[in-house]
Each structure stands twice: as structure tokens, then as C-alpha cells.
Structure 1
Amino acid sequence: MKSVLFAATLLATLASPALAQTAAAPAPAPAPAAGGNVLDRAINLPGTNWSVYGPNQKAKVIATKGVPGDQAMHVEVTAKGANPWDVGALSPIQKGIAAGDAILVAVYLRAPNLKEGETADISFLGATEAAEPYGNIAPGNVSIGKEWKLYYASGKSPKAYAPNTARVTAHLAGAKQVIELGPVFVLDFGPNYDLAKLPKN
């Protein structure tokens, strides 16, 4: 899958003046150079690798324009859940994570049935461990619009995770709604990277 659009977007964000400012502190690991490939830091298999769980939902893979790979997971939540996590989307993280590593999750999302100016809230989007107690690694929440956009979550891993024991999680049952999830990218910037330099929503 071609991920040029993602790499270009993220590199531009990491290189922006607002994110380049640093206080007098130990030097963090450098961001990828403009000529480098940010996807070298990927610890998942980048792409639209989603599985959807829960009642009151219908999910299917669709063809779409505007995201790398031209593919997305279309999820129709047919009834609001008692809990936001009653319907969710999961994507595996294949590589291991060291304790203290700075992790960035980047996901293309949209809610195509919204009107202009409306947003849909996703109460949790980020990286978690894949088994109980489902601890947070890089937690976040987002309000998304009707057009494709790249959304982020980041954090420092609280402990080490072996390969295939972490995943990306999105809770979708906060409302009756249609959410489309495009490609997901999980990047590991190592233990000395300043989270403040990573992109925010």
C-alpha cells in the first residue's frame, strides 16, 4: 500500500515551527529528516487492518478516495451503547514496545453522514494492551468531521510489551452514527523523545 500521503503529512507536521521549539533540556531523539522515511518507525503493519466487535453494528470494507490505499472500514452503529466501548474497532500492533518509548498513533477518520460543521465524538482512540486489564499505552479522544483527516493519540509506554500484545483501539458506541476508519499507523520514537513535539489534534 502506498503511504506517501501519510508520510508527507506527518513529516510536514513534525517539521512545523511550533513543534520545533524546545526548552533547555536533554536533547530528544531527532525527528526523521525531511529526506528520511517516517514509516521506518512503524511498529504495526500500516494499512486498513481493522476488526470490529460488538452488538448493534454493521461493518464492511469499502473503496474510497482521499486516504492512502483507497480503502476504509465503514462502521454503522445502529444504536447507542450503554458504554462507549460496547462497539469498537481494533487493529493489531505486531512489534514489541519498550518501557518509556514515545508512541504515536495516527489514524485517518471521518463521519461521512454529518452535515458541514458537525462533529462526532470518539471517546477513546489510541494504543492499549490487547488483553486484560487493557492498560493504556497512548490514549486519546477525538472529535471528527465529515471529511477525511489524520487524527492522533500519543503517550509514553508504561511498561514493555512483547510483539503482538498491544493494539489500536477505537470506542464507537457513544452514539448512533456512521464512522469510517482509514489506514492506521503506529510509530515508536524511542525512550528519549519529547511527546510535546508530536502532532496533536
Structure 2
Amino acid sequence: MQALEEAAPADSPRERILSAARKIFLDGPPEQATMDAVAHQAGMSKKTIYREFKSQVELLGALLFENVADMGAFPPPKQGDDIELELFGVLARMVTHFTSPRSMALARLIISEVRRYPELMNASKPRGFPREMLANWLSSPVVRAKYMIEDADDAAAMLFGMVMQDSGFKLIVVNNATMPQHQIEDRARRAVKIFLRGVQR
């Protein structure tokens, strides 16, 4: 997968700020997730931080792009691949990533900031967002040849919903809540089997 943003040198001011933001926003307690704390962690003034990132929204956006890029690539299946097995692997890996403690910490932070920064709701999602990536995978020629999927985006949303079920709310409201890997895999396996049975040509 191509990098969503050009990586900054490890010792650049931008990378120092991002490193501090990861520690404060994603690894630390929510009540300490402030720009003052980021500045202190980075050993910089807030003025220096705002020269690199015009606002907290821009810094959160950079962390979101980084989080999506960390998920990696999901190449479409090839002729002869076991579609059920491949889709299970893609779905389980995506859900594992976006339910990880860091991903959920970022989601909680963005949700908490929406009231102060409503532009977060209107900002375009990074290319490669999980639902978009899964929809693209489902739209690949090899999948389309065997399965009749009318709306790949809607199908992607349905598959994620079948795996998440009622776990999403708990993950958002309870700090450090996790979704066990065996539960993700069991639900993903059942979801894929049910979905493919329903769209088979």
C-alpha cells in the first residue's frame, strides 16, 4: 500500500510531535489528552506545534491517516483463490486492526472532539478506510465472476456489522475494552459463510 502521507524524518519536528501525540492521545488517559500535554511530551512550545499543525483537528487527522496506513494492503484475490477463505482473512484482519486499543482510543478522541470541532464530521475520510478497502476487494473481477454483489459498499458495511454486532458500543465507552481475537474470527467466519451463500450466482 502506498503511504498516505510522505513520512517525515524520524528526528524532524513533525515526527517528534506525532510521536508525542501518539503517546498522549492514544496511550495515555483521556483526561490528559491535551495539546499542552503533547507540547510537554515533545519538548516544544505550543507555538512550535501549531507551526507544523494548524489545529488540533489537523493533528488528529494526521493520526487517523497514520492509523489507516498501518493497516497495510489488501490485494484482490487471484483466479483460483478460495474466496471464502480469503474474505475471512481480510475481514478478520481489518476488524482486528480497527478494534485495537490504539484505534479505539483515536475513535473515542475524535468522537469527544466533534462538538468542539464539527468540521471533523465533514472531513473526508482517508483513502483506504476499512469499509472502502473491503468494498474495493468485493468489487474485484474474480469475486464478481462468482458472486452477485449489487452494492459493494453496502455489503462491506453489512459484513462489518455482522462481526461487530453489539461490541462497538462497549469498545467506545469502556476504556481498554477489547474484542477477543477468537470472537472476531468466529464471527468473521460465520459472517462470510452467510454472506457468500446469499450472493452466490
Which category describes the TM-score, using the shorter chain as reference length?
under 0.3
**Larger Rg belongs to:** 2
Normalization by structure 2: what TM-score?
0.26
Normalization by structure 1: what TM-score?
0.26
Point out which structure has higher relative CO (alpha carbons under 8 A, 6+ apart): 1
